[in-house]
């Protein structure tokens, strides 16, 4: 098994001296039956990474703004109920659901913010000035630096000096 995957070092995981193909995504623990020796010659529990199920983020992205605000309201109500149950001494399953609901709220808010910012970018695309929050952040020094045209400008005196005293071009004769 080891020689089989040696030519693909990035595609393999070495777990307990047994090389296993690597699949990016979620984790799942799998125990091989000792039926096929190629699968697992030592009969060891192997941690494989299998492709993840489709993220719910894509479902949220495709929704309209009205649907997103409706979903946000429902999620907030659900979170409120869960918090009340937490105080009242609800089951542990309900308490663990609080975290997932909070993450779902964050996901919906992120998508709405992304959409509004994208719409604003489209609106200000042809305008002369961009709002400050849509401009690139960079660093303070870079933001305050002169533009290319301003930095390249010369005074009248400097232009005359450059005109009358150009850089001498000469070559040394050997």
pLDDT of the residue at 95:
85
Number of structural domains in the chain: 2
Of residues 4 and 156, which shows the higher confidence score? 156
pLDDT of the residue at 32:
45
pLDDT of the residue at 60:
84
Tokens standing for residue 172: 């040394």
Tokens standing for residue 27: 């984790």
Give the mean pLDDT of the chain.
Answer: 78
Indicate whether 83 and 36 sit together in one domain: no
Does residue 49 have a pLDDT over 90?
Answer: no
Q: What is the mean pLDDT of residues 43-57?
A: 45
Indicate whether 16 and 73 sit together in one domain: no
Does residue 55 have a pLDDT over 50?
Answer: no
pLDDT of the residue at 34:
46
Indicate whether 66 and 110 sit together in one domain: yes
Give 33's pLDDT tier (boundaries 50, 70, 90). very low
The widest CA-to-CA distance across the chain, in whole angstroms, is 98
Does residue 23 have a pLDDT over 90?
Answer: no
153 forms beta bridges with none
> What is the per-residue pLDDT across 103-149, written as a single tens digit (0 to 9) for each?
999 999 999 999 999 999 999 999 999 999 999 999 999 999 999 99
Cα-only R_g, the chain: 31
If phi > 0 it is left, if psi is from -120 to 50 it is alpha, else beta; for residue 25 that is left
Cα 30 to Cα 5, 8, 9, 58, 71, distances in angstroms: 19, 22, 22, 29, 37
Name every residue whose Cβ is closer than 8 Å to that of residue 86 and which is 6 or more positions away in sequence.
Answer: 94, 95, 98
Residue 78's CATH number = 1.10.287.310
Q: Structural domain of residue 66, as residue ranges?
A: 57-123
Tokens standing for residue 80: 């409120």
């Amino acid at each position: 098994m080891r020689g089989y995957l040696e030519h693909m070092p990035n595609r393999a995981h070495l777990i307990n001296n047994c090389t296993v193909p690597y699949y990016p995504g979620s984790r799942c623990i799998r125990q091989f039956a000792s039926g096929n020796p190629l699968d697992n010659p030592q009969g060891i529990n192997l941690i494989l990474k299998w492709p993840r199920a489709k993220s719910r983020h894509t479902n949220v992205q495709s929704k309209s703004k009205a649907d997103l605000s409706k979903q946000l309201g429902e999620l907030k109500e659900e979170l409120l109920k869960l918090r009340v149950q937490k105080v009242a001494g609800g089951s542990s399953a309900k308490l663990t659901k609080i975290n997932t609901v909070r993450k779902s709220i964050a996901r919906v808010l992120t998508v709405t913010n992304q959409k509004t910012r994208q719409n604003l970018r489209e609106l200000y695309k042809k305008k002369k000035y961009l709002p400050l929050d849509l401009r690139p952040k960079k660093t303070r020094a870079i933001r305050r630096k002169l533009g290319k045209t301003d930095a390249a400008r010369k005074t009248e005196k400097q232009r005359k000096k450059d005109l009358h005293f150009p850089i001498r071009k000469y070559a040394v004769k050997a």
